[in-house]
Structure 1
Amino acid sequence: MTVGRVGALHRYPVKSAGGEALRTAQVGTDGLVGDRIWALLDDDGVIVSAKRPRPWGRLLDVTARVNALADEVTVCVPDVADTAAGSPEANGALSQWLGRPVTLTRTVPPQPVLHRWWPQEPGMIPDWVTNAIPGTATRTALPTPAAGRFFDGGTVHLITTAALAALSGRHGAAVDPRRFRPNIVAELPADPRPGQRLRIGPEVVVEVTLPTPRCAVPGLDHGGAAPDGLLRTLARYHRAEIAPFGRATCFGVYAAVVTPGRVRVDDDIAAV
């Protein structure tokens, strides 16, 4: 039964950098081809993440796109000529932009950890994190559900227009979906539930795994949005249970790919 359609597709070739809007995407068993295949490492070998806004929030102003014909990723740093990911020029431009030495890598470290900052807004720290101090920086382990990808917790991230509309109403202003860095913006009447399967277009089937816990990133200045207290709105209205761990502030859902294939903007979405 058709329940909605694909409103937008996004891919983020470099973790925590701005992505690219797509009209069509190939989806493999480990998510959108080309999604989060590169990341930056600091000089301690820790994965750079805008989850720690200082000093890494400026990475959100960098964009990246996949050049499929050349099998490479182009990195676009503001006011600098485009460079190829993995090149000394890209590392130099990114280091200068961020104010610290960084190196792009496609190799996920054996025990990956990333930079994170715990927001001060009440409710933004998940129940299962018992030793976090609001307003402090830390390092946390990076789950690796797919080899060679820098994912936080799911291979596909989906948000719905219904949830966006409700959030915008509660927030008192339109919320740009790019603040949540989704792969798929789905025109659905409600968020799908964990365990629910969706057919997206004629080929792809995904299964929802869990709600997406939110970090500091949606509250940062990026995607055309300025900081505006969005985290407070999220924490007030979007606490969700993630069994068996406890409650967290969530928006959107993670999904696993059951059947790979190609998806396109305007494809039908069906419950299966």
Structure 2
Amino acid sequence: MNTLAGIRRHPLKSAAAEHLTATAIGKRGLDGDRTWACFDADGTIGTGKQPRLWGALLDVTAHFAADRDEVELTVPGGAPVTAGTPEADAAVSAWLGRPIRITRTAPQQVKRHHWWPDEPGMIPEWATDAEPGGEDLQQVGGAADGRFFDFGPLHLVTTGAMDALSAEHGDTVDPVRFRPNLILGLPADPRQGQRIAIGDEVVLEATLPTPRCIIPSIAHGPGAPADKGLLKTLAANHRIEVPGLGKATCFGFYADVLSEGTVREGDRVVVS
């Protein structure tokens, strides 16, 4: 039977994922997902898409305490601190080696530093001014309604697609590299427009395949060290036409929430 194989929440954007066994899902995604973000002195948002600046943020753990509506952060070797306090800003600033601030309030315009991989095929056709190995400033379209999304409210991968990628790569690829919210036990990704029922309440609709950046290749904790060769595997096997946009190297997909509710690991998944 097709089931929900994993649930991941990211209370602080670009920090380590929180592994869950159950969660509420609303129109804006998982309860507590990407509700906080780091901002640099130049006003840009913290994201692993520029690992030189923010790669170390992936080692920071974040826990969302729903009963208190608080996010608890812990840097390696440090004590837990609460997001939104001077102690949290100081701890993460010290870990990153420069002053940053942590907030749950998005400025009117949110921009990020984006580093383009130099692996051929990793730059989408619509990024006409991008240069391999170069960096630019990009608008973050999903930073609204109290969430810091890059695009859609949910990002998903399937076990079938992960198994196929591992075979292409010649080594097991951990889904943590793609930072999904949900890991679906399905033989392949749903097509755009298909509906995905999870358990008794939640219904999603697959929207767009997810264009990939540098993030899958950088280190995601001790269990997933840096693997630049993964970009070569992705570009060779997963460069596709994104409807209305052009070709890009994609893996996983975004989804909108049609029906809200609670999901649990092991829930039945039905695609229609």
TM-score by length of 2: 0.97
Q: Output aligned runs, 1:12-161, within 5 Å.
A: 12-144=10-142, 146-161=144-159
Greater CA drift, 6-15 or 104-113: 104-113
Q: What do residues 98-121 of structure 1 show as CA deviations (whole Å, max 9, x unaligned)? A: 111100010111111112100110
Structure 2 portions without partners, runs of 5+? none
TM-score by length of 1: 0.97
Report the equivalent of 1:214: 212
Task: Say whether the 8 Å CA contact 2:110–2:143 is kept in structure 1.
Answer: no
Shift of 1:146: 4.7
Task: State the Cα RMSD in Å.
Answer: 1.0
Task: Say whether the 8 Å CA contact 2:22–2:264 is kept in structure 1.
Answer: yes
Report the equivalent of 1:232: 232
Q: Which one of 185, 188, 203 corresponds to residue 187 of structure 1? A: 185
Q: In structure 2, give the amino acid aligned to 1:227.
A: A
- Distance in 1 (CA, whole Å) between partners of 2:231 and 2:118 is 9
Task: Say whether the 8 Å CA contact 1:30–1:146 is kept in structure 2.
Answer: no
Shift of 1:92: 0.5
Task: Say whether the 8 Å CA contact 2:125–2:246 is kept in structure 1.
Answer: yes
Task: Say whether the 8 Å CA contact 1:156–1:256 is kept in structure 2.
Answer: yes
Secondary structure at 2:168 match in 1 = helix
Report the equivalent of 2:3: 5
Count residues in correspondence. 270
Secondary structure at 2:52 match in 1 = helix
Task: Say whether the 8 Å CA contact 2:89–2:101 is kept in structure 1.
Answer: yes
Secondary structure at 2:167 match in 1 = helix
Q: In structure 1, give the amino acid aligned to 2:35.
A: I
Q: What do residues 117-144 of structure 1 show as CA deviations (whole Å, max 9, x unaligned)? A: 0011011111000000111122111012
Q: In structure 2, give the amino acid aligned to 1:4.
A: N
Report the equivalent of 1:259: 259
- Distance in 1 (CA, whole Å) between partners of 2:179 and 2:198 is 19
Task: Say whether the 8 Å CA contact 1:211–1:240 is kept in structure 2.
Answer: no
Q: What do residues 211-240 of structure 1 show as CA deviations (whole Å, max 9, x unaligned)? A: 011111100011411122111111111112
Task: Say whether the 8 Å CA contact 1:12–1:36 is kept in structure 2.
Answer: yes
- Distance in 1 (CA, whole Å) between partners of 2:236 and 2:98 is 35
Shift of 1:55: 2.0
After superposition, the Cα gap between the structure-2 partners of 1:29 and 1:145, relative to the gap in structure 1 and judged at 3 Å, is: farther
Task: Say whether the 8 Å CA contact 1:145–1:155 is kept in structure 2.
Answer: no
- Distance in 2 (CA, whole Å) between partners of 1:143 and 1:227 is 28
After superposition, the Cα gap between the structure-2 partners of 1:146 and 1:28, relative to the gap in structure 1 and judged at 3 Å, is: farther
> Percent identical across equivalent pairs?
53
Q: In structure 1, give the amino acid aligned to 2:256.
A: A
Q: What do residues 122-173 of structure 1 show as CA deviations (whole Å, max 9, x unaligned)? A: 1111100000011112211101275111101111111000010000011010
- Distance in 1 (CA, whole Å) between partners of 2:66 and 2:35 is 13
Task: Say whether the 8 Å CA contact 1:31–1:156 is kept in structure 2.
Answer: yes
